[in-house]
Structure 1
Amino acid sequence: MTVLFHMTPADNLKAIQVDGLKAQIGARSLDIDEQSKAVYLFRTLEGAEDGLGSWFGECFDEDETLSLLAVRLPFEVPVDEGLFEFIFEDDIPADWITVLTRDVDAVNDFRMFEKISGEIGQSLTVESAAGSPEP
């Protein structure tokens, strides 16, 4: 099992919690002329936080609320220190996903999720860092 991370606008959470993450060619993929449907996952919390502070964060308006998700893949993902992302070309079911926080701006340091992400394999319900319990 491997735990990876995904960020998305908070407006997408209700659909994700029902339908999971859908492999698609989304807005950011269209911007860089991606040709394959996929779900892009950060390999580490540090990679997610770095992306938010640079290229990924720049893709969104300042007033848009972004959420951080942990995705539990039921297989091992090879470690590749040179890559910050893992490209998953299938849909990801909702029961593989845990909302770590509904608002990344409410979090000072993503390292606070390290313990939670290590426990996700044992429990799929966690308290949101923003303080509201997971539905």
Structure 2
Amino acid sequence: MPLRTIPVALDQLPLVAAGPCEPQNVWEEQNGRRVLTDRQETDPDTGERLWSAYVMPVGTDRPEVLQVRVRADQQPVVTQFAPVTFDSLEVNVRVGKDGRLAQYFAGRGLRDAAQPGRKNGQDHKQHEGQPA
């Protein structure tokens, strides 16, 4: 459970894609050890699959890759080093197992500037009755 969830001002934090998005798989306890399974995590509220998007803030003193947890029906596709944005982005602050504070990023509506107007991770087929 997060101690605090803080929205990120995306207009003040330009981001670029650091690499491809990957499925976020389930960890489980087996024989007293944590083991990564081949099952993909899903959002408990929506049932959508969870993905890890790797992004880098632009204009910082040193390079840093942030892992952002994104929920989407399909794997989001981004162009490496191209600007990306989210419809919303927040950081969750928690106490880790080691007792120290840790930060976890979660976003919605990942967009790649190299693919204008396309929201990643959704089925992009035109639906009957909707404009193209």
- State TM-score, norm by structure 2: 0.28
Q: Which one has the bigger strand percentage?
A: 2
Q: Which one has the bigger helix percentage?
A: 1
Higher RCO structure (Cα 8 Å, ≥6 apart): 1
- State TM-score, norm by structure 1: 0.27
The structure that has the greater radius of gyration is 2
